[in-house]
Amino acid sequence: MTRFFAWGTFLLGCLFFALPLIGMTEFSLKMRRGEYSFDAYRRVFEDQRFWDTFSYSLILAAATIVVGVLLVVPTAYWVRLKLPQARPVIEFITLLPLVIPAIVIVFGYIRLYNTSSFLPLTGSALGTDILLTMGYTTLALPYMYRSVDTGLRTIDVATLTEAAQSLGAGWITILSRIILPNVMVAVLSGAFLTLAIVLGEFTMAALLNRPAFGPFMQLLGANRAYEPPALAVIAFAITWGCMGLMQLVTRFSKHERAKA
């Protein structure tokens, strides 16, 4: 009986998530009257703005991931190694971006870094891109920090560090040759989450007026009928692709199997 209810609830949940997706996909295929076609998808792919915004967002996502890894891995490592009592504080700080709306952050940025400020980052495209990258890094921080911290938990950070030190290694060597490779799977899952966040982000890119994928989706959604659901399906496919890659990386990393 309990099993029956468990399965029933599970199926209900599946329907709840799947039905809108199925409906949306079905609708996106109906551009040609009376038959299914990929016309809407073709239109999207033929649109130059799709490629421009998509590649812009990909580049920014890559930059965000690099900044995030450089910021989070040493921090999480250091906290685990030297300041374990500070962990709750750090965790709280990394959670703040979930609580503070992106719009608050971006208005803060605009106030601080406008053209008449001490650091006029919004004055140039590159400066704004840097600002946007920082914003994305902040948004992705909770996910990045958590996955890296979880990754660090699976290795004996203190002993590995001491082993490396006794063999003559300095901090950079330890971080790049020992710590980072051992939390690579965690870093990658953080990276894929970051990618998904950056690709879908609207507020920051729109308010900083950069040609990102998020605002493009919004623009298309406001003006067309069949293309937006097609775009949504594409976005979903990308996100799921990321998740699939995450799984693959976990499955195929050689030494990770030992810890499983």
Partner 1 sequence: MSFLTLTHLEKSFGANRVVKDFNLSVEKGEFISLLGPSGCGKTTVLRMVAGFETPTAGGITIDGRDVTSLKANSRNIGMMFQAYALFPNMTVADNVAFGLRVKGVPRAERDARVAEMLALIGLSEMGGRFPFQLSGGQQQRVALARALAPRPSVLLLDEPLSALDAKVRVSLRNQIRQIQQDLGITTIFVTHDQEEAMSISDRIVVMNGGVADQVGAPFEIYNRPRTKFVANFVGTLNTFEVRVTDPATGRVALAGQDLTLPDAPLSARTGETLTVALRPEALRLGRLADAEALLPAKVTDVHFMGSVIRLRADVAGTDVSLDTFNRPDTPPPTVGSMIEVSLSGRDFIQLRA
**Site for partner 1, rule CB under 8 A:** 155-156, 159-160, 162-170, 173, 177-178, 181-182, 184, 254-255, 257-259
CA distance 102 to 70: 22
Q: Which residues contact 115 (CB under 8 A, 6 or more apart)?
A: 122, 123
CB nearer partner 1, residue 26 or residue 156: 156
CA distance 188 to 203: 25
Residue 143 corresponds to which tokens in the numbers above? 């996910």
CA distance 72 to 94: 10
For residue 170, the minimal CB distance to partner 1 (Å) is 6
For residue 105, the minimal CB distance to partner 1 (Å) is 36
For residue 173, the minimal CB distance to partner 1 (Å) is 6
Q: Quick one: how far is CA 28 from the chain centroid? A: 26
CB nearer partner 1, residue 2 or residue 166: 166
CB nearer partner 1, residue 39 or residue 256: 256
CA distance 231 to 200: 11
What is the DSSP code (8-state) at residue 201?
-
CA distance 229 to 214: 14
For residue 254, the minimal CB distance to partner 1 (Å) is 6
CB nearer partner 1, residue 37 or residue 173: 173
CB nearer partner 1, residue 75 or residue 253: 253
For residue 176, the minimal CB distance to partner 1 (Å) is 11
The answer to whether 122 and 128 have CB atoms below 8 angstroms apart is: yes
